[in-house]
């Protein structure tokens, strides 16, 4: 890839191969968040299915375009794209996330927010924001800003947690401002100047267990925060015997729907592709 300094005015490349911004803005994400996720992602059915959903959509709508993964954490999504020969730049403001991405051999890493890096307007060919926008207090302002950075005819790819009735202590801990319905997210994205290319829910089976085992206990004050990592590892584990084979069938069905641009009517996350 050409030197990123050609399109970003406020970054410098360090000896570790990571670009760092010269200024740093605060973010609504817990400091330990990336470290926790780094222990979970590889063996998580959730992270793996989200990756497969994203990759399926990117291959369909913009496989040849340079992809900027904004707020991409430890580079788990970026690694999936990179391994599929899609040129990707990880833009992650968290220092630990950027360093973890380096351990995953992500080739192009910018440790910065999109704004702090000062990318040129209309310079980013394709942008992904995966479970990022719910961390932004003013989501409309942020998306309008993203619109300016995206090149003409460029695509954005967005995932966010679905439905406020699924709110739990996990959302508070993660620094979320909101959850979305698909129609709400579509309206916001359209308001910010984008045209919807494809929209769907994913994780069709998850709303019921999330509601029963996270939302209700949170409302009743029954949630426990002890051994958080062990709890997350159990919840995300893909080694569940017969149940795992059922999940695999459901995820494969969802991927076929995405590949054929067919909407999934209900799920735990919203997934949208939109064009400038």
Residue 50 and residue 159 in contact, taking contact as beta carbons nearer than 8 Å: yes
Is the confidence at residue 189, as pLDDT, over 60?
yes
Is the confidence at residue 27, as pLDDT, over 80?
no
Q: Residue 38 — very low, low, confident or very high, per pLDDT cuts 50/70/90?
A: confident
Q: How high is the pLDDT of residue 228?
A: 67
Mean pLDDT (whole number) for 179-208 = 98
**Residue 54 maps to which CATH number?**
3.40.50.150
Structural domains of the chain, count = 1
DSSP label at residue 93? -
Q: How high is the pLDDT of residue 34?
A: 82
Residue 166 and residue 134 in contact, taking contact as beta carbons nearer than 8 Å: no
Residue 46 and residue 269 in contact, taking contact as beta carbons nearer than 8 Å: no
Burial of 25 (0-12, 13-18, 19+ CB in 10 A): exposed
List, in order, residues 6 or more apart from 82 with CB less than 8 Å away: 88, 106, 107
Rounded to 5 degrees, φ, ψ at 160 are -145, 155
Beta strand ranges found along 48-194 (DSSP E): 67-70, 88-91, 109-111, 124-130, 150-161
Helix (H, G, I), strand (E, B) or coil at 143: helix
Domain extent, residue 100, equals 4-275
Mean pLDDT (whole number) for 155-159 = 98
Is the confidence at residue 144, as pLDDT, over 70?
yes
Q: What is the pTM of this model?
A: 0.93
Is the confidence at residue 235, as pLDDT, over 90?
no
Distances in Å between the Cα of 83 and the Cα atoms of 9, 186, 273 are 28, 30, 21
Instruction: Take residue 225 and report the two structure tokens written for it.
Output: 């925060």
Pairing of strands 11-13, 109-111: unpaired
Q: Alpha-carbon distance 224 to 222, whole Å?
A: 6
């Amino acid at each position: 890839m050409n030197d990123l300094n050609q399109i970003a005015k406020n970054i410098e490349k360090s000896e570790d191969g990571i670009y760092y911004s010269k200024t740093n803005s605060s973010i609504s994400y817990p400091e330990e968040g990336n470290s926790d996720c780094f222990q979970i992602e590889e063996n998580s059915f959730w992270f793996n299915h989200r990756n497969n959903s994203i990759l399926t959509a990117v291959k369909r709508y913009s496989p040849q375009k340079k992809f900027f993964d904004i707020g991409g954490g430890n580079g788990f999504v970026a690694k999936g794209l990179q391994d599929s020969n899609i040129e990707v730049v990880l833009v992650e403001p968290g220092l630990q996330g950027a360093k973890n991405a380096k351990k995953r051999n992500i080739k192009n890493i910018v440790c910065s927010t999109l704004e702090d890096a000062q990318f040129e307007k209309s310079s980013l060919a394709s942008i992904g924001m995966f479970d990022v926008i719910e961390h932004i207090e003013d989501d409309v302002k942020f998306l309008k800003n993203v619109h300016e950075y995206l090149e003409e005819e460029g695509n954005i790819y967005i995932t966010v947690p679905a439905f406020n009735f699924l709110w739990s202590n996990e959302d508070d801990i993660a620094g979320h401002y909101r959850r979305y319905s698909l129609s709400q997210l579509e309206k916001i994205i359209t308001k910010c100047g984008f045209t919807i290319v494809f929209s769907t829910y994913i994780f069709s089976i998850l709303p019921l267990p999330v509601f029963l085992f996270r939302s209700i206990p949170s409302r009743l004050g029954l949630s426990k925060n002890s051994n958080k990592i062990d709890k997350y590892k159990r919840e995300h584990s893909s080694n569940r015997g017969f149940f795992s084979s059922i999940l695999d069938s459901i995820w494969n069905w969802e991927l076929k729907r995405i590949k054929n641009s067919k909407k999934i009517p209900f799920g735990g996350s919203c997934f949208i592709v939109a064009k400038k």
